[in-house]
Amino acid sequence: MPPAFPSERSAPDLVSTPGGPFRATLGAAFSLSGRGLHTGRRATVRVGPAPPGHGVVFRRTLRDGRTVDVPASWSLRERQPLCTALRSPEGPLIRTVEHLLAALSAEGVDEALVEIDAEELPIFDGSAVPWCRAIRAAGRIENGAPRRTIRVLRTVQVEDGRRTLRIEPHDGLHVSAHLALAHFGPLDWSGTITPDVFLSEIAPARSFGRYWRAMLGRAYGFVTRKPFLQGCGVRSAAMIVRGRILGGMRVADEPVRHRVLDLVGDLALAGHPIRGRLIAAHTGHELNHALVARLMAEPDAWELV
């Protein structure tokens, strides 16, 4: 008999522990609304429970009322500037999925149906905290299906100039990240990704950029009518002016921690939790996706356990 999933108004009494032996879904559905970083358009997202084996699937409602399902899979990823985007085989695009995917992954949620009425997920304040809080409020329940993980067996590396990203065998998901920014110097973070570590040390870190570059990019998007940084501003990102972030950093070394946030979200497109140690230097979405693709293309480098 299939499990009865609670409604959006009722959370479960028993919440399971992330990282257990069974796959899990949300205990209740939740909805959040906000504007997209690139489109600047308002979107409402409903994230709800899903049955065993469903994985994370985005369901976009189009203007004509049709719906299109897009699984969160590395094979459907499409290159787009400054975000992670998925392209349905039927054509429609869903962009800026990485913060929600990072939060679901860190909280140990394997199955979820993400319904959205626009092209882009909300950016909120540029962090993953709104997603994490909503997921925790909804609760996590195991569905009885065995939870399999990708265990890395040997080192796999990708690089592009000074940008490097490699993964090597390790028990759990450990990240060591480095970033150097003009006027800031070296920024580093290292730790094992657990739900509590992610919520307290990684999720608060916001998308960031140089203020003048962001404003030029926003003007370019407006003039060309392209979906580029139309929702970017001091309320949706950490804006850098020379050697400081306007309003200050929320956490120490905030920019490099946000790179870790994006990395966790991009790794989620592998479809299973990854067990390995990641060493990242100046990484970004393109290198993150290159590593996932390289790992998937080398089946002798990992095993599903």
pLDDT in the model for residue 210: 87
Supply the residues annotated as catalytic: 285
pLDDT digits (tens, 9 = 90+) for 78-96: 999 999 999 999 889 999 9
Strand partners, 115: 46, 59
CB of 273 closer than 8 Å to CB of 173: yes
pLDDT digits (tens, 9 = 90+) for 32-55: 999 999 999 999 999 999 999 999
- What is the predicted pLDDT for the residue at 18? 62
- 150-206+250-304, superfamily in CATH? lpxc deacetylase, domain 2 (3.30.1700.10)
CA distance 205 to 240: 14
Q: HEC profile for the chain?
A: CCCCCCCCCCCCCCCCCCCCCEEEEECCCEEEEEEECCCCCEEEEEEECCCCCCCEEEEEECCCCCEEEEECCHHHEEEECCEEEEECCCCCEEECCHHHHHHHHHCCCCEEEEEECCCECECCCCCCHHHHHHHHHHCEEEEEEECCCEEECCCEEEEECCEEEEEECCCCEEEEEEEEECCCEEEEEEEECCHHHHHHHHCCCCCEEEHHHHHHHHHHHHHHCCCCCCCCCCCCCEEEECCEECCCCCCCCHHHHHHHHHHHHHHHHHCCCEEEEEEEECCCHHHHHHHHHHHHHCHHHEEEC
Measured CA angle at 249 (ends 244, 254), to 5 deg: 100
pTM for this predicted structure: 0.91
Topology at the third CATH level for domain 22-146 = Ribosomal Protein S5; domain 2 (3.30.230)
Tell me the torsion sign for CA atoms 104, 107, 108, 112.
negative
pLDDT digit string (tens) for 183-228?
899 999 999 999 999 999 999 999 999 888 888 888 988 899 888 8
Cβ contact 273:150 at 8 Å:
yes
Regions in the chain scoring below 50 on pLDDT: 1-17
Query: What sign does the dihedral 44-75-208-278 (CA atoms) show?
Result: positive
Q: Which two tokens stand for residue 261?
A: 């946030």
Four-residue CA torsion sign, 213, 163, 132, 85: positive
Are 40 and 53 within 8 A, CB to CB? no
One-letter amino acid of 284: G
Is the separation of the CB atoms in 290 and 158 below 8 Å? yes
Q: Domain spans of the chain? A: 22-146, 150-206+250-304
